[in-house]
């Protein structure tokens, strides 16, 4: 079967592509840049943007199924941009699927479609969509999921997965921000009694997508038109999660605490400053991130286990070991690069010192 993965060069999309090829599928990826590692897996790369109906249409043409991972992540930036990519891009995918007779569509959604700012403890898929949006990303992902599930029909079977805080080697979002705060000495554990949160290792999240595609083909009546939470099924207090990440990165655990109310004020102040200065990059601390780190959010994944056959095969401990190895390799690579640059600089200086100036050579000959 030929499967299109939108956002195939991204953090999650890359692993989805790898797992699909390992299962013998022919894989095509749609994304904006070329990724050499996908060439190694013989993934056919189409350069384009899901915001372009034509580019999306060309990528879908000739495929049997689509896994739609492409999205604008994060919680900072123009709301219109989130809407154009996450909602408009999804609509383009749905339109292309209808035009080309695609039978199966797996959509990457997010837990935040039910997040209203309060605690979510052990809830399942019966919890309603939020009516209180805390960020443009959240609103756009909610609308996108609703469009995908509404498009489910006898001709196109759709399913939405809600992975929660995807992490692992190559993570460009959660881990880098936490580690950046820690390295600057600005990370704190929020509140006196940290709440429990769950997450999902990237390989587990990717496998859930592959399993969802399998189940759509085998038993579409059971899973089509539904959404599923995808996590490790191992909720831990926030301070345990953060410190496990710090230790994996070779940093000291964080014991200092900060009241949640003060953290919200700091986040709001940073947001105001960034907007005033028209800074496009996301602040290290935002009110949304404060909410993420100060409220409970873990989910009942029994539906995914029962209907999809999902089981988080990589445990949190194993995942942390893999992440630690990856981060150590990155540090060594950077160190080697710095050493190499220093050596190159010294060699260049030495070569320059050994070169006899032309005028000095002429003076020597005249004598």
Q: Is residue 366 one of the residues assigned to a domain?
A: no
Q: Is residue 359 one of the residues assigned to a domain?
A: no
- Domain of 219 in residue numbering reads as 2-329
Contact 199, 146 (CB under 8 A): no
Mean pLDDT estimate for the chain? 90
The conformation of residue 112, written as its DSSP 8-state character, comes to G
Burial of 49 from C-beta contacts in 10 A (0-12 / 13-18 / 19+): middle
Share of the chain above pLDDT 70, in %: 90
Taking alpha carbons only, the member of 326, 10, 27, 325 closest to residue 166 is: 10
Contact 230, 310 (CB under 8 A): yes
Q: Is residue 365 one of the residues assigned to a domain?
A: no
Name the residues annotated as catalytic.
Answer: 137
Could you tell me the sign of the dihedral formed by the alpha carbons of 362, 365, 366, 367, in that order? positive
pLDDT at 335: 57
| pLDDT one-digit tens code per residue, 159-206 | 999 999 999 999 988 888 889 889 988 888 988 888 999 999 999 999
Q: Is residue 348 one of the residues assigned to a domain?
A: no
Q: Is residue 342 one of the residues assigned to a domain?
A: no
Could you tell me the sign of the dihedral formed by the alpha carbons of 188, 172, 120, 147, in that order? positive
pTM for the structure as a whole? 0.88
pLDDT of 362 > 50? The answer is no
Q: Which residues of 262-280 are buried (b: 16+ CB within 10 A; e: fewer)?
A: ebbebbeebbeebeeeeee
- Residue whose entry in the numeric block shows the structure tokens 């997010």: 110
Q: How many structural domains are present in the chain?
A: 1
Q: Is residue 350 one of the residues assigned to a domain?
A: no
For residue 179, what is the domain's CATH number? 3.40.50.720
Q: Is residue 10 one of the residues assigned to a domain?
A: yes
Q: Is residue 338 one of the residues assigned to a domain?
A: no
């Amino acid at each position: 079967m030929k499967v299109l993965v939108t956002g195939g060069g991204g953090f999650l999309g890359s692993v989805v592509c790898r797992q699909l090829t390992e299962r013998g599928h022919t894989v095509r990826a749609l994304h904006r840049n070329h990724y050499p590692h996908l060439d190694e897996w013989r993934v056919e790369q189409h350069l384009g943007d899901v915001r372009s109906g034509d580019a999306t249409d060309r990528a879908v043409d000739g495929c049997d199924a689509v896994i739609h991972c492409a999205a604008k992540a994060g919680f900072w930036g123009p709301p219109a941009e989130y809407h154009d990519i996450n909602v408009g891009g999804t609509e383009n995918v749905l339109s292309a699927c209808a035009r080309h007779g695609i039978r199966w569509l797996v959509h990457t959604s997010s837990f935040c479609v039910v997040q209203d700012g309060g605690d979510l403890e052990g809830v399942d898929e019966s919890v309603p969509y939020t009516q209180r949006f805390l960020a443009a990303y959240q609103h756009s992902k909610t609308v996108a999921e609703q469009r995908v599930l509404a498009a489910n029909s006898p001709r196109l079977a759709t399913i939405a997965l809600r992975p929660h805080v995807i992490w692992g080697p190559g993570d460009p979002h959660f881990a880098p921000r936490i580690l950046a705060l820690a390295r600057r000495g600005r990370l704190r554990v929020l509140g006196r009694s940290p709440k429990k949160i769950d997450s999902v290792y990237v390989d587990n999240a990717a496998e859930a997508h592959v399993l969802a595609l399998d189940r759509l083909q085998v038993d579409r009546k059971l899973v089509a038109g539904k959404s599923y939470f995808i996590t490790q099924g191992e909720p831990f207090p926030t301070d345990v999660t953060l410190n496990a990440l710090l230790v994996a990165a070779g940093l000291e655990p964080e014991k200092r605490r900060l009241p949640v109310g003060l953290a919200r004020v700091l986040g709001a102040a940073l947001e105001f400053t960034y907007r005033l200065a028209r800074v496009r990059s996301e602040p290290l601390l935002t009110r949304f991130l404060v909410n993420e780190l100060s409220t409970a959010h873990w989910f009942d994944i029994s539906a995914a286990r029962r209907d999809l056959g999902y089981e988080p095969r990589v445990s949190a401990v194993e995942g942390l070991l893999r992440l630690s190895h990856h981060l150590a390799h990155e540090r060594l690579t950077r160190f080697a690069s710095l050493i190499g640059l220093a050596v190159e600089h010294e060699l260049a200086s030495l070569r320059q010192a050994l070169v006899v100036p032309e005028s000095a050579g002429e003076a020597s000959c005249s004598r």
